[in-house]
Copies of this chain bind each other. A is one copy, B any other.
Amino acid sequence: VELLLLLLQLLLLLLFLFSWGKILVAPVDGSHWLSMKILVKELVARGHEVIVLVPETSLLIKGSQSFSTVMYKVPYTKEELDAKMNELRKGLFKPPQLLDLMENVNRLVNFTTLQAKGCESLLQNRELMNQLREERFEVLLTDPFLPCGSLLSHLFSIPAVYFLRGLPCQLDTRANQCPSPPSFIPIYYSDNTDRMNFPQRVKNTLLYALETYLCTVMYASFDDLVSRYIDKDMTYERLLGEGAIWLLRYDFTFEWPRPIMPNMVFIGGINCAKKAPLPADLEEFVEGSGEDGFIVFTLGSMVSNMPKEIAKLFFDAFRQIPQRVLWRYEGEIPADAPKNVKVLKWLPQNDLLAHPKARVFMTHGGTHGMYEGICNGVPMLMFPLFGDQRDNVHRMVSKGVAEQLLIYDLTTDAIVTGLTKLIHDKSYHDNIKRLSDLHNDRPVSPLDLAVFWTEFVMRHNGADHLRVAAHDLNWIQYFCLDVLAFLALIVITVVWLTVKCCLFCTRKCCRRTAKKKQA
């Protein structure tokens, strides 16, 4: 066996030496990294040389044995970064206020502006930039939530592959020239579905206009960076439009059906592609749940704690149900915590949901968790906290596979009622089973698809044949407004000339008749 392992290591070394290509990765920290890491590791496993660019101060990104990292200095400390993150988390457990939208936008802008500064310090690091440029990467894999990757792609002339779920204010579809008629594509947070009546369409159209305005506010610091380092007239939106392939964590069991573009590749559910057996203690715990099954409860990688009084509501609720509960929670555990609850600092969430005894998934509605709920077919009790979560939850609820509770307006009864409904009303189970069947039924697994298209871009130095010519048009040209104005002008001129001619003729005739009469 040892000899075999040695041989295997030798083989891996050989593969590495003759690796297919060189890939530069510019990731985004936090939960964004969790699914991109899956693709990065797979690319390494397939023999590519991968270098991941990591800011010195980061939250989740760490070096690994399987890929190399290159650190770069940033002008902020871990404390400052954590402070900004905490700002984002602020008010999660309190009822939202009317002015929260602008407040939230401000906090997000503060957070991204800080990271844009980190990016700028990389761009100014001449030594590192030269070193990277000389590596002659074949492709740049990045999450365009932050501008560093697409900037490097442009500056180094390397084709870019984007990896994302979507960008605030739909900058992704805008940049990719993807039509999004507000008549059947609901705006985030509009609480609309894709079928809208007249008042809903009015609301949606107004929100679309608001979103267009918000785009200019939200990406001001990126636009500034781009115009300083590339071209005065360049915007972040135009820079993004240069991307070769958009790997979107999209799936139409979750997203509303909509027009798409040839360079959009759908890899929704990439995070639940691979499953591992449960650790022995968890396996024993969930197997012991008998006919009643068990519940998985997490609020995502960013929120591992909650106010004591809210936690108490959950403990009290769990005491009243026969199911066992696995809860990712780092807060204080009361002495009288019910025995059917197992509290842990980390959960193998996807592996647990894949267990046939999983009954309900209690989640905040982040896209990773939601796809794990969908692909494993487990109904969800959802507590949206921030970002895109309220909108995600709205979709799941409107598809009849989830119930929503507001974390700032909870009662023990509401939790128990919600859980009971999800477990005993067969419709939730049937609906999620249907979504799950649709979601899992595809010709190529999302991970293989993501690898294929990344390698495609490497093989062909981009994917220009999938890029629409609309990128060269401004919006007046795109909507043919100049053509319509020109045609209108012709019509008006012709009508005017005809009228003038007629008037001229009639006048002449009248004069003649008048003269005749006079005569």
Give the interface of A toward B (CB within 8 A).
178-179, 181-184, 193-195, 198, 201-202, 205-206, 252-253, 256-263, 437-438, 441, 443-444, 448-449, 452, 456, 459-460, 465-470, 472-473, 477-480, 482-484, 486-487
Contacts and interface: CB of A to CB of B under 8 A. Distances in A.
Given A205-B487, A260-B260, A262-B260, A184 B441 contact: no
Contacts of A487: 202, 205-206
A437 B449 CA distance: 18
B261 A194 contact: no
A201 B483 contact: yes
Contact of A473 (B184, B253, B456, B478): B184
Number of copies: 2
Nearest to A209: B487
A166 to B, nearest CB: 16
Contact of A477 (B201, B467, B478): B201
Contacts of A470: 181, 183-184
A261 B262 contact: no
A64 B487 CA distance: 56
B482 A257 contact: no
4 smallest A-B Cβ distances: which pairs?
Answer: A194-B469, A179-B179, A184-B469, A443-B452
A259 B261 contact: yes
Given A183-B478, A252-B262, 20 more contacts: A178-B259, A183-B470, A183-B483, A194-B468, A195-B469, A195-B472, A201-B482, A202-B483, A202-B486, A202-B487, A253-B465, A256-B469, A257-B466, A257-B467, A257-B469, A258-B262, A259-B261, A260-B260, A437-B460, A441-B456
A479 B448 contact: no
Nearest to A465: B252
B468 A183 contact: no
Contacts of A258: 262, 468
B256 A480 contact: no
Interface core residue of A198, A205, A252, A261 (most chain B CB under 10 Å): A252
A438 B465 contact: yes
A480 B207 CA distance: 13
A259 B178 CA distance: 7
5 contacts: A183-B473, A184-B468, A259-B468, A437-B459, A443-B443
B260 A480 contact: no
B465 A257 contact: yes
Given A205-B487, A470-B181, A487-B205, A198 B482 contact: yes
A245 to B, nearest CB: 12
A114 to B, nearest CB: 36
A444 B205 CA distance: 39
Contacts of A194: 468-469
A505 to B, nearest CB: 31
Interface core residue of A183, A205, A206, A441 (most chain B CB under 10 Å): A183
Interface core residue of A184, A263, A449, A478 (most chain B CB under 10 Å): A184
Nearest to A264: B260
B438 A201 contact: no
A320 to B, nearest CB: 36
A198 B479 CA distance: 13
A249 to B, nearest CB: 15
Contacts of A477: 183, 201
Contact of A183 (B256, B467, B480): B480
A182 B473 CA distance: 12
A255 to B, nearest CB: 9
A262 to B, nearest CB: 5
Contact of A483 (B179, B205, B256, B262): B205
Given A198-B482, A466-B252, A259 B179 contact: yes
